[in-house]
């Protein structure tokens, strides 16, 4: 069906655009690409009218195809939004049951149509993004404006202590859950077709790990070889551009991310030692 193919092509195009814009750190364009996919899926619902197909036994086969296509579009949209809204997949999966959350989420699966098993069972749940009733909002605003406003009494200004931004604290137990290790960079190379990514080979005690890091604009691969860095060793592995990244190295940067420096150790501490 032409409508099915149009939705499929839109999903694959959204994956390519989102991947390209994320690589360039163009977050606005990246989210716009995902938004266009969601809008096309909404239009697909209006075009196929699944509520009508459900009323007629002859339409049940077509209904199954329509619903499968919608689930696939939603699956791809969820993968593409994961960097911006990582908690959304877990919430959506309680209804769709299409992700194995025990395994790393693969970005590349967003570029493949037809991964969801046919016949997968879904559960009814609350809307992930409830519709906002603009009319109700406007009525509430009007009512608020009608409320009597008490005249402001002129008062003498009193010195006010400077309000400092409230900090969010973690407990020592929460910090202890982080497994920070000394790691030696034994190999480093640029990732193909990715201007900002380096692939680092790390020696962590007797173990070797691969870590993908977005620091290619600040370091040449040869500058890092032999350095001792700090690795977040118990970060859940994830696949980035086809490479499994097994942790994250720590770095510091200014607010505009124009200057960035990887945290390194100057001592002779052997790799694998814990950072406390």
With b meaning 16 or more CB within 10 Å and e meaning fewer, what string describes 227-252? bbbbbbbeeeebebbeeebbbebebe
Question: Which residue would you say has higher pLDDT here, 93 or 80?
Answer: 80
pLDDT score recorded for residue 108: 92
Question: Which residue would you say has higher pLDDT here, 174 or 160?
Answer: 174
pLDDT score recorded for residue 163: 46
Question: Which residue would you say has higher pLDDT here, 153 or 163?
Answer: 153
Q: In the predicted model, what is the mean pLDDT of residues 146-169? A: 56
Strands 207-213, 228-232: pairing kind: unpaired
Neighbour-count burial of 265, counting CB atoms closer than 10 A to its CB (0-12 exposed, 13-18 middle, 19+ buried): middle
Q: Is the pLDDT of residue 139 over 60?
A: yes
Task: Compute how many other C-beta atoms are within 10 angstroms of the C-beta atom of residue 115.
Answer: 13
45-92 pLDDT tens trace? 999 999 999 998 889 899 999 999 999 999 999 999 988 888 888 888
Tell me the domain boundaries of the chain. 2-111, 177-265
Q: CA-to-CA distance for 75 and 102, rounded, in angstroms?
A: 17
The gap between the terminal CA atoms of the chain, to the nearest Å, is 59
Q: Is the pLDDT of residue 132 over 70?
A: no
42-51, 227-236, 257-266, range with the lowest pLDDT: 257-266
Quote the pTM value: 0.51
Q: CA-to-CA distance for 259 and 268, rounded, in angstroms?
A: 27
Task: Compute how many other C-beta atoms are within 10 angstroms of the C-beta atom of residue 64.
Answer: 14
Question: Which residue would you say has higher pLDDT here, 224 or 167?
Answer: 224
Tokens of 40: 């096309």
pLDDT score recorded for residue 17: 94
Say if CB 12 and CB 79 are below 8 A apart.
no
pLDDT score recorded for residue 256: 66
Nearest to 261 by CA among 208, 213, 200: 213
Q: CA-to-CA distance for 182 and 232, rounded, in angstroms?
A: 9
Q: In the predicted model, what is the mean pLDDT of residues 220-227? A: 91
CATH classification number, 2-111, choose in 3.40.50.300, 3.20.20.70, 1.10.730.10, 3.30.565.10: 1.10.730.10
Could you name the CATH architecture of 177-265? Beta Barrel (2.40)
Q: CA-to-CA distance for 146 and 262, rounded, in angstroms?
A: 57
């Amino acid at each position: 069906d032409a409508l099915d193919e149009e939705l499929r092509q839109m999903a694959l195009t959204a994956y390519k655009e989102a991947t390209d814009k994320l690589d360039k750190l163009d977050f606005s364009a990246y989210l716009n690409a995902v938004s266009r996919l969601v809008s096309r899926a909404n239009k697909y619902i209006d075009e196929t009218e699944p509520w009508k197909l459900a009323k007629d036994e002859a339409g049940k086969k077509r209904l199954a195809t329509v619903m499968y296509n919608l689930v696939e579009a939603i699956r791809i949209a969820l993968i593409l939004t994961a960097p911006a809204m990582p908690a959304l997949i877990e919430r959506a999966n309680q209804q769709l049951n299409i992700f194995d959350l025990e395994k790393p989420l693969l970005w590349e699966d967003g570029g493949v149509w037809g991964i969801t098993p046919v016949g997968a069972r879904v559960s009814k749940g609350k809307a992930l993004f409830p519709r906002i009733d603009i009319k109700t909002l406007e009525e509430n605003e009007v009512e608020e404006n009608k409320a009597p406003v008490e005249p402001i009494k002129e008062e003498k200004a009193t010195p006010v202590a400077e309000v400092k931004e409230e900090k969010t604290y973690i407990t020592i137990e929460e910090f202890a859950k982080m497994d920070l290790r000394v790691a030696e960079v034994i190999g480093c190379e640029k990732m193909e077709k990715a201007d900002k990514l380096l692939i680092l080979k790390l020696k962590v005690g007797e173990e070797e790990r691969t870590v993908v890091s977005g620091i290619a604009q600040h370091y040449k691969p040869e500058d890092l070889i032999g350095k001792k860095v700090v690795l977040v060793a118990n970060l859940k592995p994830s696949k980035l551009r086809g490479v499994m990244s097994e942790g994250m190295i720590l770095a510091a940067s200014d607010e505009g991310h124009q200057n960035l420096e990887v945290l390194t150790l100057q001592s002779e501490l052997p790799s694998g030692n814990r950072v406390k």
